[in-house]
Amino acid sequence: MYESGQVRKEAAITTSVCVYRFFMEYEEYAKHEYYMRLALEEAEKAREIDEVPVGAVVVRGGAVIARAHNLRETNKQASAHAEFLAMQKASSYLGTWCLDDCDLYVTLEPCMMCTGAIILARIANLYYGTKDPKAGAVDSVIEVRKISRLNHHVNVESGYLEQECGDILRAFFKEKRQKPKRDKSQFKIDK
């Protein structure tokens, strides 16, 4: 049988461990939230130029080494997605295609093209804000990361600032639906 002092000491140790774990988890979440806020700043830049508001940042060793936002309409290039452009900038900065010690933060679940690029670049960790029920290739439409035969598997966490990441997209598309559709005939080439 324990003496009451021993019981109090064990209870104090257990409480201290629980408090320590809580603060460590909170600190970890705050770090991810900070980087996701930077990605949201990039998404806002995209919205300001009438691009789909998606932003991304690449982090290595706690430092942001690349930032980007969607530029598909501006560049007239299908691959000009935020995460794709951010990885290109990171590769250029580091002088290598292999980003295996980098983390990618993106406001929207990556599409199939970007998920493929993330795997090929060997990104260590992917953090995304909100799911993409129409084109998401991580958890929604296709679950590429569950293909066991791939040579690289990315650690994925989602839901960081999910509401804010979703809100900027919903507001953008609500505004788009209220405007007349663009005339696609201007893009056709006469034969």
| Per-residue tokens: 115 | 């998920």
Q: Which member of 10, 83, 143, 157 is catalytic? A: 83
Query: 109 an active-site residue?
Result: no
Q: Is residue 126 within a helix (H) or strand (E), and if so which, with residue range?
A: strand 125-130
Q: Where are the alpha helices (DSSP H) in 49-161?
A: 72-75, 82-94, 112-120
45 contacts 61 by C-beta, under 8 angstroms: no
What type of residue is 34? Y
Regarding beta strands 55-60 and 102-108, do their DSSP bridges make them parallel or antiparallel, or are they unpaired?
antiparallel
Catalytic positions, written as ranges: 83
